[in-house]
Amino acid sequence: MPELRVTTGESVSLPHRLLWQSCIELLEIANERPGSAWALHLSASLLAAASFEAYINHLGDEMLPTVWRNERKHFSKDPYRGVLGKVKRIAEEVGYQLPRKTHKPFAGWLELQELRDKIVHARTKRSHFSQVHRSDAFPKLPPPWMSRELSRTKVRELIALLEEFATEIHTLVAQSEL
């Protein structure tokens, strides 16, 4: 019978990496399954936004642990409310002035964050329609919720801009030597 041993150590799990990898895999699957592409892009956009917030929380934990320990207190009111407030706080810490809200790639992240909020806080959408159609055919239904806002091209563009913005922040933090 083999001898039993005990191994101890430390492990670090980085949720932002897992979420990001899941986002990328969904985009790849969407290429292979066009019939499911819209739902996969919807899911990928949500995971991308969640990944970025998890990354910002990782940076905050590393750079400003006392602030992040009381996260709800520090990020529940202006000027540091929500994820944007967390980004502002980290930017201040490294001496970075956030760009105008229309400047890419920052604007792309903000738009993706708005889409995330619409998804997470979604409400039932009711609409009335009237359509003339043949009696032997069904009417064409209105487009599904968010389908105009979440085209394949739009989701991929916003995710690429998010990656570019995250890389900018990562570079600034790395250069600041905090």
- The average pLDDT across 123-134 equals 86
Judge whether residue 154 has pLDDT over 60: yes
- The average pLDDT across 61-70 equals 95
Which pLDDT does position 128 carry in this prediction?
Answer: 85
Query: C-alpha angle 28/29/31, rounded to 5°?
Result: 70
- The average pLDDT across 134-159 equals 87
Which pLDDT does position 1 carry in this prediction?
Answer: 85
Mean pLDDT of the chain: 93
Please state, in angstroms and rounded to a whole number, the distance separating the CA atoms of residues 112 and 162. Answer: 8
The pLDDT confidence band at residue 5, using thresholds 50, 70 and 90, is: very high
Judge whether residue 161 has pLDDT over 90: yes
The two three-digit tokens of residue 166, written as one number: 């995250």
Which pLDDT does position 149 carry in this prediction?
Answer: 78
Which pLDDT does position 147 carry in this prediction?
Answer: 80
Residue of 11, 13, 15, 47 whose CA lies nearest to 29: 47
Which pLDDT does position 177 carry in this prediction?
Answer: 67
Percent of the chain scored above 70 by pLDDT?
A: 99
The residues, any chain, with a CB within 8 Å of residue 158's CB and separated by 6 or more, are 45, 48, 108, 109, 111, 112, 115
The residues, any chain, with a CB within 8 Å of residue 84's CB and separated by 6 or more, are 110, 113
Which pLDDT does position 178 carry in this prediction?
Answer: 57
The two three-digit tokens of residue 50, written as one number: 């969640």
Judge whether residue 144 has pLDDT over 70: yes
Which pLDDT does position 126 carry in this prediction?
Answer: 84
- DSSP codes of every residue in 4-17: P----------HHH
- The average pLDDT across 154-168 equals 95
Q: What is the DSSP letter of 147?
A: T
